[in-house]
Amino acid sequence: RGATTLSEHESKLFLAEHGIAVTREVLAETEDGIVSAAEKIGYPIVLKASGDELSHKTELNLIALDLRNEEETRNAYQRLLSHPDVAVREVLVQQMIKGDRELVAGLTRDEQFGPCVMFGLGGIFTEILEDIAFRVAPLTRGDAMEMMESIRAKKILGPIRGKTPVDREILANILIALGEIGLRYETVKEIDINPIKIHDGKPIAVDALVVLSPG
């Protein structure tokens, strides 16, 4: 059996259990269920078609951002339902995190070094700029702080354009937790948290995928 990828929602539940802050979100299956979840979470919200096989929702246009009321939410749900290539069964209703600073963090397994933690510039820039640092687990707090200093775009962690500086202690906790997960669970093959958005200085995992080894 090949590797298994957890859905975004399952991945984030797993990360939340290990102290990593994730978006408030609810999985819903009906239009009314989605509306009541949106009211519980509070507008603005995001709708994402959910499922293990849907790791590239943006490319498939299976995501609706910044929905501000019930009407917009219902219209967006109908649009997701009418997708020509994908039968949408469940929808993730998620708080919309405003923030133009995006980071990435993750876990990979190196054949020689074992679990390694990754950190860098997130969102669309991850693949374009490849501004990323790696450290072998376990990480000390000093290692985590060093990773933040080692990326070329480290200025975005500071008070740029009047924005609140990123809380580096919380960011360090995320990186340390990823290393601990890698050492504790041999079945966790890979973790990709992208993006981590900065909300009032605090890092929050907006999208994440956990890949499990066959077993």
Give the position of tokens 């995501």. 63
Fold of the domain spanning 24-95: Dna Ligase; domain 1 (3.30.1490)
CATH homologous superfamily of 102-212: ATP-grasp fold, B domain (3.30.470.20)
What's the predicted TM-score (pTM) here?
0.93
The Cα 194–Cα 206 span in angstroms is: 7
Establish whether the linkage from the previous residue to 44 is cis, with ω within 30° of 0. yes
CA 7 to each of CA 56, 58, 60, 95, 132: distance values in angstroms, whole numbers, following the listed order: 11, 15, 16, 17, 25
Reported as a pLDDT band with limits 50, 70 and 90, residue 55 is low
Domain boundaries, given as residue ranges, for the chain? 24-95, 102-212
- Kindly state the percentage of the chain with pLDDT values over 90: 81
**What's the pLDDT band for 110 if we cut at 50, 70, 90?**
very high
pLDDT value for 57: 63
User: Per residue in 13-48, pLDDT tens?
Assistant: 999 999 999 999 999 999 999 999 999 999 999 999
Q: How confident is the model at residue 103 (pLDDT cuts 50, 70, 90)?
A: very high
Indicate the pLDDT class of residue 177, thresholds 50, 70 and 90: very high
pLDDT of residue 123: 86
